[in-house]
Amino acid sequence: MNKEQVKKLFLGGLGLIALLYVYFSFFLGPLNKSRDAVQAKIKDLQTKISTSKAEISKAAKLEETAHSATVRYDALRALSPEGAPIAWFPPRMKTFLSTHQIDKGTTRLETNSACKEKELADWSRYLWIIDLPQADFESLGNAIAQLENTNPLLSIKKLRIYAATDDPELQKAVFTAATIIYKK
Amino acid sequence: MPLQLNLLHEEILQHRQRQRDPLKLSLYAAIALGALLMLNYLWTGYRVLQGKSRLNSIQAEWNKIEPKVTAAQKRADELNGIIGTTNALDGYIETRFYWATFLEKVAHCVTPNIQITSLEGVIEDDKGLVTATLDGVAGGREPRSVAEDFRQMLLEQVGKEQPTVKVEFKTLEDLDTTVAVGGSNETTAHFVVTVGMEPFPKAATPAPTEHKARPKKEES
């Protein structure tokens, strides 16, 4: 090889290096970058799709298992009629007591507050004082039994029954009932 | 060995030199390399296009699924909320104390020579305790033993359902007054009995059971 040829080879080598650099940096590089980005997006979406499918089937299963809870929840919610409890609870108690031959009775609201449990954020606790100045013990017992059996969200917290001085056949009764009522 | 004359020696040599020209060979190599690089570029480009088309189809699938999964997540949250609320309400319902059952037991224990003048009951939610105070008068030849019989019967009756029950006298004192029981005058004693029970101990919450209060039948 003569000097001219060596020079040409050297220049050729340099040209090749430049060509490879341009090829890898400006042609293949962006293409690979784009391909990697697409692959990453595909992987991400595939993960999302598979977890979503799992979540959809989980929700469907939950829908089946929660059926009884939903029915029960609706039934419990239906125990709270529309309107302010102070408007409907005392008349309801009056009607209820009159069906047990307890005609004289007053129901008044003592306190109401939000339930402490976070699951019961949509429910409020009401404390009512039910005052019965004339009640026959047997009728009262029957009334309390039916009240407790038909109102699952009602619980008697305090109860006082004592002899009425004017009529020995009748007793006076005062009880505090706590109710859990759905906030409409 | 016969002598051979190669008259084209110089021409062949020149031809060979032309063939071995490094510049020419490098040019061929460069062309081959360029072709390879071009093929690689095209192949990579093809794979990118293929990937993009796959991405589009997956994106379309995701676009279909996304509203469904959002709705499913929302519904699952709602259902979990409902389950939690129902469990909390069930817990409240199951840990109620039924006074009607207790009043029925008291009524069973009250004999003709016992008169209850006052009954007071309180539920202490924070301690899980139920206490009742019964104030009354016992009549008989030995009114104290009549009152004690009442206490024991009450303990036995209430203890059937509430094993933790405690029935104790708070007061038991003789009275000067007499009462007519069954046609004869009897001496009396005033008593105050306290009933304490823990129907739902905090440490061990009982499994939910159907516990219904029954209407009482007897009158005190």
Residues A68-119 have pLDDT tens digits of 999 999 999 999 998 999 999 999 999 999 999 888 889 999 999 999 889 9
Of all residues in chain A, what percent carry a pLDDT higher than 70?
99
- Kindly determine whether residue B96 and residue A70, on different chains, have CB atoms separated by under 8 Å: no
Query: Region B30-39: what's the mean pLDDT?
Result: 88
Give me the sheet containing A123-135, strands edge to edge.
A106-114, A123-135, A171-182, A154-163, B114-124, B129-140, B184-197, B166-181
pLDDT of res. B218 = 42
Q: What pLDDT was estimated at residue B210?
A: 47
Q: What is the pTM of this model?
A: 0.74
In the stretch 47-76 of chain A, residues with CB closer than 8 A to chain B read 48-49, 52-53, 55-56, 58-60, 62-63, 66, 69-70, 72-73, 76
Asked whether the predicted pLDDT for residue A170 surpasses 90, the reply is no
Mean pLDDT check: name the lowest of A32-41, B9-18, B88-97.
B9-18
Average of pLDDT values for B17-31?
75
pLDDT tens figures, B139-159: 988 999 999 999 999 999 999
Does residue B207 surpass a pLDDT of 60? no
Distance CA B210, CA B213 (A): 10
Q: Read off the pLDDT band of B217 (50, 70, 90).
A: very low
| Calpha distance A179→A159 (Å, rounded) | 15
Listed by number, the residues of chain B in 37-96 with a beta carbon closer than 8 Å to a beta carbon of chain A are: 37, 40-41, 44-45, 47-48, 51-52, 54-55, 58-59, 61-62, 65-66, 68-69, 72-73, 75-76, 79-90, 92-93, 96
Q: Say if residue B24's pLDDT is above 60.
A: yes
Query: What integer pLDDT is reported at residue A16 of this predicted model?
Result: 81
- Chain A: nearest CA to B93, how far in angstroms? 6
- Could you tell me the two tokens for B209? 């059971």
The secondary structure of B98-143, three-state, reads: CHHHHHHHHHHHCCCCEEEEEEEEEEECCCCEEEEEEEEEEEECCH
**pLDDT (0 to 100) of residue A167:** 75
Res B99 pLDDT > 80: yes
Average pLDDT across chain B, whole number: 86
Cβ–Cβ of B40/A28 closer than 8 Å? Answer: yes
- Produce one character per residue of A135-172: b if its CB has 16 or more CB atoms within 10 Å, e if not: bbbbbbbbbbbbbbeebbbbbbbbbbbebeeeeeebbb
Quote the pLDDT of residue A108: 95
To test the contact with chain A by mutation, choose from B44, B62, B86 the residue with the greatest count of A C-beta atoms within 10 A, namely B86
ipTM over 0.85: no
Query: Which residue from A60, A72, A149 is facing B213, i.e. has the nearest CB?
Result: A149
Q: Are B30 and A12 in contact (CB under 8 A)?
A: yes
Determine the pLDDT at residue B34: 86
Q: What is the pLDDT of residues B159-201, one digit of tens each?
A: 998 888 999 999 999 988 888 777 788 899 999 999 999 988 7
Of A12, A27, A63, the CB nearest to B79: A63
Summarised one tens digit per residue, pLDDT across range A42-63 is 999 999 999 999 999 999 999 9
Give, as one character, the DSSP assignment of residue B207. P
pLDDT at A41 over 50: yes
pLDDT of amino acid B7:
74
Query: In the prediction, which pLDDT does B220 show?
Result: 38
Tell me if chain A has a CB within 8 Å of the CB of B100: yes
